[in-house]
Amino acid sequence: MGSDMDLPVALLQSLEGVPGYHREAFEAVHRSGEQVTSVRVNPAKASLLAGGLETYRISLPVSGKIPWTDNGYYLQERPFFTFDPLLHAGAYYVQEASSMFVEQAMRQTLDLNQSLRVLDGCAAPGGKSTHLQSLISADSLLVSNEVIKSRASILEENLVKWGGANVMVTNNDPADFSSLENFFDVLVIDAPCSGSGLFRREPEAIAEWSPHAVQLCSQRQQRILADYYPSLAEDGTLIYSTCSYSQEEDEQIIDWLLNNFELESLPLQLQADWNIVEVQSPERKGSGYRFFPDQVKGEGFFLAAFRKKDGGQFHYRAPKKPKVQKASKGEVAAVMPWLNQDAGIQLWKQQEQLLAFPALLEQELLVVADNLYVRHAGITVGKLAGQQLVPDHSLAMSTLLHPSTVAVSLKKEDALQYLRKEQVILSDAPTGWALVKYENLPLGWVKVLPNRVNNYYPSNWRILKSGSN
Ligand SMILES: C[S@@+](CC[C@H](N)C(=O)[O-])C[C@H]1O[C@@H](n2cnc3c(N)ncnc32)[C@H](O)[C@@H]1O
């Protein structure tokens, strides 16, 4: 190999004959060094922002819309995202454009107005999960599972910032889901893969690639799919994706799925100007969709969708010893003034923590909590000290918060100071708990005391870098 962007010869050879692959253009786009930056806006927070969508345009150098998704935008250049308080407020997520195509698979194979139980089985750091949460209805459930503990904590952070109440973050092995047979209506597997689709953005990954690694990934993808499969209900949708170009991880997985399970391949409609390549698996002619960076404005990506034709439906049985209990009348009375009254939520208690969860998803909460290791469920409201709520950061990030909660607005420099968990000086703030806001979006809590202000931003999420742009 010569320069960093010399792609593995074995990869290039393996792609000969693949529909849509043009070696010269493919190599040229990797050599070009062009970087595509994109974000997906949080529709639940966009409406709260001081200037609505226009605020994003001021904060971010938006250059255009990503055509296969409602809330995705390309940027002219990559800003220093860490120094944008709106990122920390969960106003948007920085995400690769091609992977937002999962929205088409969801929209074209499901009625998103229905109440759905959705499992994101390979969820960290949360790109697909935050997207799925924005797509599903308020009385649908998203379970975001990540097997690696350290990655599950990043997933939790991103989902807490996103602010949806209908989400549970779990940290389980895929095999643990065997106890939830036929529970989910949608299973999204954005599988760990050999990563060739990201070589333009991460050239250092090229050195790790080998045909052997592709084989290992393919076997692991089969294990993950086989472990999760029983948890999908009959007529449920399976969405499988990778950021690999290798057929062993893409078309051959489609054939493996169609050969080993009662699945039907679901073709998706494409617009010609998206330049996404439709492929068929060699044996069973299942449909797949491949993104080449020389043809789309985005990185390499592959997606296929299926309908499950066997299984059955889930039958609810109340757990004998529920892991969460309904909050008492007194606890509800102490907490309700903090919450938006129309939110349709039920308050629960787990040890000392109070949490808010959509009232219509009571059975779902109980079943998932009974069978899995739940890191986070709904909105953590906080703990009661006597009759007083000590509010949790999750509540500040949530749209459940009562709109007239005491708040102070900060300019960018002060907001960054707050996000570094440093001292903030607030003149005129009344004593007690207050939200800190930037452009009308909450960043977190402070407690105003007569002689100082205590900063309650979560220590492990604080900005560590100095500077402001
Ligand atoms: C491609 S990433 C997922 C990216 C994520 N869906 C997103 O959009 O932000 C694949 C994830 O699968 C996880 N993973 C690795 N090995 C796994 C296994 N054996 N079973 C399940 N997940 C695994 C990785 O830790 C990683 O978080």
The pLDDT of residue 55 is: 84
Q: Please answer whether residues 97 and 297 qualify as being in contact, where contact means their C-beta atoms are separated by less than 8 angstroms.
A: yes
What does the alpha-carbon distance between residue 20 and residue 276 come to, in Å, rounded to a whole number?
9
Q: Is the pLDDT of residue 126 over 60?
A: yes
The pLDDT of residue 54 is: 83
Give the list of residues 6+ apart from residue 467 with CB closer than 8 angstroms, or none: 80, 83
Q: Which of 102, 122, 173 to mutate to test the pocket of ligand 1 (most atoms within 8 A of CB)?
A: 122
Tokens of 448: 């105003």
pLDDT tens for 89-122 read: 999 999 999 999 999 999 999 999 999 999 999 9
The pLDDT of residue 466 is: 81
pLDDT tens for 47-63 read: 888 888 888 888 899 99
Distance 344 CA to ligand 1 centre (A): 32
Sign of torsion, CA 415 420 421 427?
A: negative
Shortest-distance Cα residue to atom 6 of ligand 1 = 123
What does the alpha-carbon distance between residue 45 and residue 171 come to, in Å, rounded to a whole number?
27
The pLDDT of residue 56 is: 83
> Sorting pLDDT into bands at 50, 70 and 90, what band is 224?
very high
Q: Side chain identity at 19, as an amino acid letter?
A: P
Q: Please answer whether residues 42 and 399 qualify as being in contact, where contact means their C-beta atoms are separated by less than 8 angstroms.
A: no
154-168 average pLDDT score: 98
* Residue 124 annotated in ligand binding: yes
What does the alpha-carbon distance between residue 246 and residue 196 come to, in Å, rounded to a whole number?
8
- The residue behind tokens 């927070």 is 45
The pLDDT of residue 51 is: 83
Q: Is the pLDDT of residue 2 over 70?
A: no
The average confidence (pLDDT) of the chain is 96
The pLDDT of residue 206 is: 96
* Residue 126 annotated in ligand binding: yes
181-195 average pLDDT score: 98
* Strand arrangement, sheet containing 407-409: 407-409, 432-438, 441-448, 453-455
186-194 average pLDDT score: 98
Q: Side chain identity at 443, as an amino acid letter?
A: L
* Residue 123 annotated in ligand binding: yes
What does the alpha-carbon distance between residue 371 and residue 377 come to, in Å, rounded to a whole number?
14
Distance 221 CA to ligand 1 centre (A): 10
398-423 average pLDDT score: 95
Kindly calculate the radius of gyration of the chain based on its CA atoms and give it in whole angstroms. Answer: 23
Residue 64, CB-side half-sphere exposure with 13 Å CA sphere: 7
Pocket around ligand 1: residues whose beta carbon is below 6 Å from it? 122-128, 146-148, 151, 174, 190, 192, 220, 224
What does the alpha-carbon distance between residue 168 and residue 141 come to, in Å, rounded to a whole number?
8
329-347 average pLDDT score: 93
Smallest Cα–Cα separation from 6: which of 237, 199, 178?
Answer: 199
Q: Side chain identity at 23, as an amino acid letter?
A: R
- Longest alpha-carbon distance in the chain: 73
ipTM above 0.95 for this complex: yes
How many other β-carbons are positioned within 10 Å of the β-carbon of residue 385?
9
> For ligand 1, what atom is nearest to the CA of residue 188?
6
Distance 189 CA to ligand 1 centre (A): 8
Shortest-distance Cα residue to atom 7 of ligand 1 = 127
* Residue 412 annotated in ligand binding: no
Catalytic residue (choose from 243, 354, 377, 434): 243
Shortest-distance Cα residue to atom 1 of ligand 1 = 192
Helix, strand or coil for residue 469? coil
> Sorting pLDDT into bands at 50, 70 and 90, what band is 1?
very low
> For ligand 1, what atom is nearest to the CA of residue 220?
19
Domains and CATH numbers, the chain: 9-34+95-308 (3.40.50.150), 317-390 (3.10.450.720)
217 is catalytic: no
Distance 148 CA to ligand 1 centre (A): 8
Distances from the Cα of 153 to the Cα of 124, 126, 159, 177, 376, angstroms: 9, 10, 10, 20, 10
The pLDDT of residue 47 is: 86
34-38 average pLDDT score: 96
The pLDDT of residue 3 is: 43
Distance 276 CA to ligand 1 centre (A): 24
* Residue 322 annotated in ligand binding: no
* Strand arrangement, sheet containing 72-75: 62-65, 72-75, 37-41, 92-94
pLDDT tens for 245-293 read: 999 999 999 999 999 999 999 999 999 999 999 999 999 999 999 999 9
